[in-house]
Amino acid sequence: MNIFVSELIGTFILIAAILSTKNKYYIALAFLLAITVSNISKGHINPVVTLVKYIQGAVTKEETMRYVSGQVAGGLLAYYVITKVV
């Protein structure tokens, strides 16, 4: 799967679930789903993790930009959907 798309989906699931509920079990489920998606796609879901991987030399500069842009886009999309649409 494309790095950008997988990061967008994983971050969207995580942020949307956190913003849409105060139930701690649903938030835990969101974390579980996000981690599952990240393990399948080898994604990071978190820009700090991506930055550490870049510093360690595990990902290239171009891959880092794709990861972070997908994470930011997924977070912003989730925020928009939960606050404006729902």
- Whole-prediction pTM: 0.82
Q: Which of 2, 5, 1 has its CA nearest to residue 74?
A: 5
Binned at pLDDT 50, 70 and 90, residue 46 comes out as confident
Domain count, the chain: 1
d(CA 67, CA 45): 8
Neighbours of 63 (CB within 10 A): 14
The torsion defined by the Cα of 11, 14, 16 and 21, in degrees rounded to 10, comes to: -170
pLDDT band at 79 (very low <50, low <70, confident <90, very high): very high
Cα separation, 56 vs 71, in Å, equals 20
Per-residue pLDDT tens digits for 1-26: 688 988 898 889 888 888 888 888 87
Q: Which domain holds residue 77?
A: 3-85
Q: Is 46 helix (H, G, I), strand (E, B) or coil?
A: coil
